A = this chain, B = another copy of it.
Amino acid sequence: MIESRFGPNGGNRLPQPDTKNRLLEAAERLFASEGLSRTSLRAITCEAGVNVAAVHYHFGSKDELLVELVRRRIAPMNEERLARLDAIERASEGGPLPLEPVLRAFVEPAFRFRSEMSGHEQLGRFFGRLYAEPEEILESTLREIFEDVAKRFRDAFARAVPHLPDDELDWRFHFLVGTVVHTLMGRREMQAPTDDPPPDQEVIDRVIRFTAAGLSAPVEMGQ
């Protein structure tokens, strides 16, 4: 049976009459500012201006909304990371990789996607929350989305900092992630609450400087 035309409601030409996307955006905003488990369905649908039942109609459940949100937000960020890493590896032709570009390929997409987000720069906090709040429903999704990135970048760092033993490399990659996530979450220990946020590129450069030094530190305890 041929799909005679498209579905109803504009026939998939307008994929949704906005409801689905408005739900995703409202959910992202609230998840970021209130936390995953502290955000109720009613708060989301109220913020989106739609009925409560819309969530279950379009996504099936609150959990599946969250999974869909992760797929839409995190996956593209990781694809950009991998694309940039591809370019670096292609340019190096099997030789050692330059550390700073690899670092930037990992760090910059995270900040870029944060600020690209429709007006509000909450994606960083949402992103950070994924690490902090253990939603078992997300475990497999996150693993699936981050597995490639983790593996590819681990190997890239191994080529960029070849003097490191494997276990030390794993740990330093872990520390890098901690630095990035904590910074995306936007908590500054010493910042006066009145200061306005600094431009992304400045923060990125500081992160790169710090982590590049940490990653390339000698492995012997020379101090």
Contact = CB atoms under 8 A, between A and B. Distances in A.
A25 to B, nearest CB: 20
Give the interface residue-count category, chain A. 35 or more
A100 interface: yes
Given A182-B181, A189-B150, A223-B99, A175 B210 contact: yes
B217 A210 contact: yes
A152 to B, nearest CB: 12
A123 to B, nearest CB: 16
Given A179-B179, A181-B178, A214 B210 contact: yes
Given A35-B37, A181-B182, A206 B171 contact: yes
A183 B131 CA distance: 12
Contact of A187 (B128, B131, B213, B216): B131
